[in-house]
Structure 1
Amino acid sequence: MAAHPFKICDDNILGRHLVTTRPIESGAVILQEAPLVRGPFLHTVPVCLSCGKILDASCWRPCSKCGWPVCDKNCEQSPTHQSECILTAAKGSQITIKNFGIPNPNYQFVSILRALYLKQTSPEKWKKLLSFQSHSIEVSTLPPSFIRNFFKLEDWSEEEIAQVLGVLLVNGHELPLTQPSQLVVYDEASFLEHNCRANCTKTFTDEGELLVVASRSIEPGDHLSICYTDPFWGVQNRRQHLHQTKHFWCVCSRCEDPAELDTHLNSIKCPKSTCDGLLLPKSFLQEVSVWICDKCDGLFSNDNVSVLLGKIGGELSEMPKGDAQVCREFLQKYEKVLAPNHFYLLDVKMALSHILASQNFEDLSDGDLGLLLKMSEDLKIVAERVAPAERRLLGLILYRTAKSKIEMARRQDNLSEFRAVLANSKATMSEARLLLANEPSSLPEGRLHRQIGLELRLLDDLLKNK
């Protein structure tokens, strides 16, 4: 087995992190590993503790040993369920779950128990888990003393329980293979540092192994990074989220640039009727007092801008999901106020793109087809510039771009033009398929990868026969 193309380094600022030791090509799998811990998130509705699916009052049974809900006898006997089963049974009383469809507080213990049980079943994994960065947890959240006493965990100290909880919260990844998603902790992947313009992306196998994939060519000596937050949020939202969840303020090169690589994700239009400039503060890394127009040099109070953005953000959060007309009205209203690529507009454009693309392309009106193509092209430019690691989104965007162009050409009744579009779209679809190559078949992106393969064969047939 080939050695990893990276080494683990350590310093006082980053802690442990990964640095490349040889060139890595875009699309290469850098790391593949199984989780150390896998289980439900700390707040979840009742789920089967083997397969992870949501349970309701008509489709479950209590485990005969511990009382935790499972689907059937096979799930009860699954190795996945044994950690919490053994530790629960050992305390002398079973767990009782009566209400389904609403979050149950008992589930906050499951992943903790699975992590703690490594101390008895896998000392090597236990040692790795305790070596991860952790942060102190408010006692009111999950008192380690309560967990220890409730489950009679005499072999674990309160300090160990607190550290495990901190590790799960700080180092946990979301595994989206089940509904709801699961919480997982990996070993070497936990050393990937954050960058808002990361050079790696993460995905998963159908078995829950993590794949770390290079999103661009990476040179020896480069740090490997993923994005811990939503890369299409504005800089203030990203930094605040990272501080709240990961306990650091991001100062990456993208956050340092208020214009976000000239995409103007945070900019608003100058309110002066005679000016077509955009407003931004000099920096988001320090307290903002004024926003400055890049054309007229006008100064505008941060308080007034914050009120405006708060109003728009509030309206966005209350928008009904899946309503194309509401999305159109929001865009029409706030394209007059916000920069074309403002992250609020991007959010709605992505939502509207999903709505339109969920229909048969043949059924879209000419106007909606053109709108979908325009939004896809705009989103592609922004994604490639600020978030090249978003391979799933880029693959989806390229697919929609190709499909829109093919359908538009089909309606033109120009055979030579149609053939040219087919040839061009075949290349675009091939690129989309490559971007989605590592997606699991259980997720929509993995299924789209398979679908694109079938559609490429149809394009080949059309190009041969026309």
Structure 2
Amino acid sequence: MAQCNGINDIPYEVRTSGELGRYLVAARDLAPGDLVLTERPLVFGPKAMQNAEASMPCVGCYKPVSTEVGERCFRCGWPVCSGNCPGLKDPRHHGVECHILSARPECVLNNMTDYYRHDALLPLRCILLQKIDVKQWTKLLELQSHMECRIPGSEAYDEANEYIVEYLMNHFISKLEDEIKNKYIPEVSPALIHRMCGIIDTNALEIRLPDGAELHALYTNTCIMEHSCIPNTKHTFMQSPKDKNDLYRITVKVVVPLQKEHHVTTMYTHALWGTQARRQHLKDTKYFACRCTRCSDPTELGTYLSAMKCLGDGNNECDGVHLPEDPLDDETEWACNKCPIKINSSQVNMVITQMGEEVENVQMVGGSVPILESLLCRLSTFLHPNHYHLYSIKHSLIQLYGRQPSYTSVEILEKKIKMCKDLIIITRALDPGNARLSLYNAVLQHELHSALLSKVKVKIDSSKRNVDHIVSITTEAKVAIENALECLKDDIDETAGKKLFEVIKKSKMSFDKYCKKRKLGCK
């Protein structure tokens, strides 16, 4: 792996253009695994918990604490895991902000999600940098805020104004004594807080912690990487460093061959969303319309991830698929590739949104096999087999097939194997370097291995054993489990990746023992 040993060895250059602003290009040819950059965060802060009524993140270490019985910071009254939490005195965490939050020292047990707004802490920590670290503050101010788009009356402005700006100003900053204010935040105004909100919304990266809490963090150089829906880099965060100052240090590596002068890219949206959903998300949160190779291709790199089936004209059936005529036009018509029928974008959006809500509702309650299969069958009437809503359902099903007592038959195993292979093809096409879908891919490869191994065991116990066929399937199972581990090679420093890696590693050991016991050699 390439290292940055000196000023002349930096593998990227910062460029500027009127269209992109600041962005990075490769300073030389880079290979998969080469290091692009590694840096500590400028600032970070907790997001509100998904179920904030039940638990909130400790302001010192971000561990979830019960809203009913959790301890409180003795000075400001905010929920903490313990009065001895080291982060309560650490200036990077709660150490400095506590002086501001103490302007309202009273505690409450009712309406806590409104009273303790954790999404307001990162903007506050940003403002506090002006005294904590002037160099970091200067770098922070260089980040794009898109305030020209966040004008009064816009959704982003009004939301930030109600939930963050007025919250901080009215409950804390306006109550500060002059001595405290001049010491910690000499420059503060609603406009400055709005600017911090814009910088966060535009640039912040999400960090998921082992216990389920989430953070947002800002980085000097990582934040100026250009977006692409087929990114050429992958980033990971250090969560258990030897040096506490390296907490949440980000490492960015190349995942596909990158030629000199080519743009260094990352992804700011979900790789398994369709083009319309990705582009709308980027417009709403990053204020630009993506025109990358994937977004420009109606078939999404041949995956047909957004395609809908043509239902004919009511008199004649059609087995074609509807694709957007111009995927970069939000109002484009969707045309069938086999007949003259077209449908407008509003119809497509309405149908896809309704289907998405159905899928989400089923996934949230942990859908059973019959429920998932019923939904898959019904949506398959309207959607291409590779559609991202169907991908989501199938990804859930393959983790149930072969594991639940009623779904272990040979027919089910064959269905699972085909489903895994189909999804692997889609996943590789969308993310050839495992930049964003490494965990998805690892699960698919692991489940493929599991189904193939089960099939081997059935074949061995059969009276009509075909040795060559058994060896062939065993070899395929071996390749799948090795691919699963390979997918996670850059994820083992993070909690989710580490847990999955350990599970798959145990499966690999069990598989090796089985092969040795049964004397199954692989080709």
Q: Do they superpose with TM above 0.5? A: yes
Q: Does 1:140 align with 2:166?
A: no
In the alignment, which residue of structure 2 is the partner of 1:124? 135
In the alignment, which residue of structure 2 is the partner of 1:17? 23
Q: Map of 1:159-174 to 2, 5 A cutoff?
A: 159-174=191-206
Residue by residue over 1:346-397, the C-alpha shift from the partner in whole angstroms, topping out at 9 and shown as x without a partner, is: 122223334448x479974434433332222111111111233222222222
In the alignment, which residue of structure 2 is the partner of 1:38? 44
Distance, in Å, in 2 between the alignment partners of 1:143 and 1:229 is 26
Query: Which of 270, 279, 291 lines up with 2:322 in the alignment?
Result: 279
- The answer (yes or no) to whether the contact 1:409–1:418 under 8 Å persists in 2 is yes
Query: Which of 197, 221, 236 lines up with 2:276 in the alignment?
Result: 236
Q: Map of 1:57-72 to 2, 5 A cutoff?
A: 57=67, 59-72=69-82
1:250 partner SS: coil
Q: Using a 3 Å threshold, how does the CA distance of structure 1 residues 274 and 140 change in structure 2: closer, same or farther?
A: same
2:263 partner SS: coil
**Deviation of 1:238 (Å):** 0.9
In the alignment, which residue of structure 2 is the partner of 1:7? 13
In the alignment, which residue of structure 2 is the partner of 1:340? 385
Q: Does 1:397 align with 2:419?
A: no
Distance, in Å, in 2 between the alignment partners of 1:116 and 1:95 is 23
- The answer (yes or no) to whether the contact 1:281–1:288 under 8 Å persists in 2 is no
Residue by residue over 1:150-193, the C-alpha shift from the partner in whole angstroms, topping out at 9 and shown as x without a partner, is: 55645123243322222122211111114221121122110121
Q: CA RMSD in A?
A: 2.8
**Deviation of 1:59 (Å):** 4.4
Q: Does 1:86 align with 2:99?
A: yes
For 1:156, the aligned partner's letter is E
Query: Which of 306, 329, 341 lines up with 1:298 in the alignment?
Result: 341
**Deviation of 1:24 (Å):** 2.3
In the alignment, which residue of structure 1 is the partner of 2:287? 247
1:319 partner SS: helix
- The answer (yes or no) to whether the contact 2:120–2:164 under 8 Å persists in 1 is no
In the alignment, which residue of structure 2 is the partner of 1:196? 229
Uncovered stretches (5+) of structure 1, i.e. residues with no partner: none
Q: Map of 1:262-277 to 2, 5 A cutoff?
A: 262-272=302-312, 273-277=316-320
2:95 partner SS: helix
- The answer (yes or no) to whether the contact 1:49–1:70 under 8 Å persists in 2 is yes
**Deviation of 1:8 (Å):** 1.4
In the alignment, which residue of structure 2 is the partner of 1:369? 413
- The answer (yes or no) to whether the contact 2:237–2:250 under 8 Å persists in 1 is yes
Distance, in Å, in 1 between the alignment partners of 2:344 and 2:288 is 27
For 2:197, the aligned partner's letter is L
Distance, in Å, in 2 between the alignment partners of 1:304 and 1:165 is 35
- The answer (yes or no) to whether the contact 1:292–1:300 under 8 Å persists in 2 is yes
Distance, in Å, in 1 between the alignment partners of 2:470 and 2:63 is 46
In the alignment, which residue of structure 1 is the partner of 2:62? 52
In the alignment, which residue of structure 2 is the partner of 1:378? 422
- The answer (yes or no) to whether the contact 1:423–1:463 under 8 Å persists in 2 is no
Distance, in Å, in 2 between the alignment partners of 1:364 and 1:95 is 58
Distance, in Å, in 1 between the alignment partners of 2:451 and 2:228 is 33
Distance, in Å, in 2 between the alignment partners of 1:211 and 1:422 is 37
In the alignment, which residue of structure 2 is the partner of 1:74? 84
Residue by residue over 1:258-296, the C-alpha shift from the partner in whole angstroms, topping out at 9 and shown as x without a partner, is: 111221122111212442111123112224353221112
Name the count of aligned residue pairs. Answer: 463
TM-score (norm. length: structure 2): 0.80
Distance, in Å, in 2 between the alignment partners of 1:328 and 1:411 is 25
Q: Using a 3 Å threshold, how does the CA distance of structure 1 residues 210 and 444 change in structure 2: closer, same or farther?
A: same
1:411 partner SS: helix
Residue by residue over 1:120-165, the C-alpha shift from the partner in whole angstroms, topping out at 9 and shown as x without a partner, is: 1211111111110113333334336546425564512324332222
Tell me which moved more, 243-252 or 111-120. Answer: 111-120
Tell me which moved more, 39-48 or 335-344. Answer: 39-48
Residue by residue over 1:10-42, the C-alpha shift from the partner in whole angstroms, topping out at 9 and shown as x without a partner, is: 111111111111222224443332222121126
In the alignment, which residue of structure 2 is the partner of 1:425? 477
Distance, in Å, in 1 between the alignment partners of 2:25 and 2:338 is 42
Percent identity of equivalent pairs: 26
Q: Does 1:409 align with 2:456?
A: yes
**Deviation of 1:433 (Å):** 1.4
Q: Using a 3 Å threshold, how does the CA distance of structure 1 residues 392 and 81 change in structure 2: closer, same or farther?
A: same
Distance, in Å, in 2 between the alignment partners of 1:301 and 1:165 is 36
- The answer (yes or no) to whether the contact 2:44–2:216 under 8 Å persists in 1 is yes
Distance, in Å, in 1 between the alignment partners of 2:111 and 2:64 is 9
Distance, in Å, in 1 between the alignment partners of 2:396 and 2:214 is 21
Uncovered stretches (5+) of structure 2, i.e. residues with no partner: 148-156, 241-247
- The answer (yes or no) to whether the contact 1:42–1:109 under 8 Å persists in 2 is no
For 1:248, the aligned partner's letter is F
TM-score (norm. length: structure 1): 0.90
- The answer (yes or no) to whether the contact 2:331–2:344 under 8 Å persists in 1 is no
For 1:30, the aligned partner's letter is V
In the alignment, which residue of structure 1 is the partner of 2:153? none
Distance, in Å, in 2 between the alignment partners of 1:205 and 1:360 is 36
Distance, in Å, in 2 between the alignment partners of 1:68 and 1:392 is 35
2:57 partner SS: coil
In the alignment, which residue of structure 1 is the partner of 2:298? 258
Distance, in Å, in 2 between the alignment partners of 1:418 and 1:361 is 24
